[in-house]
Structure 1
């Protein structure tokens, strides 16, 4: 059972789907990459080489890591607001183009319907992050940098679902654009 509350029209989601497949995921190396096993120690007769001095991060890499961290913090906070039914706060966090396409009551009812269908969540963990670049030819959603953050959630009734929150990068940070759920495989 897939439940979608997307604030982006279906035709625009289909157009963006081609972009989704072509985009690289955001760099989450330290957060999601499996840890490498340490190399076995050098034989006793050979001295272990001294570790190389740490290289300073390139400014672009540091900026990207800061953007990913800001996205994850925004996503976690938005999911808490949804869980706590703090719809005024969720509405205030919407990307401007989304708030202009829905009435507040319609938005709140749709979001409550999707989230309410899950019931109690016993636990969840992040399952992945994907960056999406929407090109200048797109009218809806507007061009820009988007990201999806997925969570694997264990429900009280024993089901496992994926909750996906979508965001758009705005001048003031990541802004919420959509929420959907689907059964976990």
Structure 2
């Protein structure tokens, strides 16, 4: 946007227009804070056993692969592996672009990894996976608790 202005009022309006363009023109899914907020809300829903609420925020390709009751049952079984949580914190956020993959549709994906301390003192790792939708929202695609931070669990709901 070219913005040449004489006078403070017009310069102020041009600055406001440029800031607005930058805010609205930012790449969808660019905010790690937004993704972390979504992940925190979903992991709280998983902790509370609100699997139908998680289902509502699941990516369409996952919904097409799993029946709702099977999805909820699988998520419940995986969450039981974690046990009683003392506290947790996110340890990494990874963004991935898939194209021409046989398993997942093309697009931008992200993983949020948590380090979780159980009440018995053991540490477990939990990964929540997301797909960026065409509407700019992150949609849940998978959950994988595991004993080691560097080893992906074979058992995972979704992707």
- Report if TM-score (shorter chain) is over 0.5: yes
Alignment equivalent of 2:26, drawn from 40, 51, 63: 63
Match of 1:139 in 2: 102
Residue in 1 that maps onto 2:60: 96
- Which of residues 108, 113, 117 in structure 1 aligns to 2:77? 113
Aligned residues: 127
Q: TM-score, normalised by structure 2?
A: 0.73
Partner of 1:77: 41
Distance change (3 Å), C-alpha of 1:102 and 1:90: same
For 1:158, what is the secondary structure of its paired residue? coil
Please state whether the residue corresponding to 2:66 is helix, strand or coil. Answer: coil
TM-score of the two chains, using structure 1 as the length reference: 0.63
> What are the ranges of 5 or more consecutive residues in structure 2 without an aligned counterpart?
1-18, 150-159
Q: Which runs of 4+ in 1 moved over 2 A?
A: 62-67
List runs of 5+ in structure 1 lacking aligned partners.
1-55
What is the RMSD computed on CA atoms of the aligned residues?
2.1
Are the aligned partners of 2:132 and 2:139 in contact in 1 as well (CA < 8 Å)?
Answer: yes
**Aligned-residue offset at 1:66:** 5.2
The reply on whether 1:174 has 2:138 as its aligned counterpart is: yes
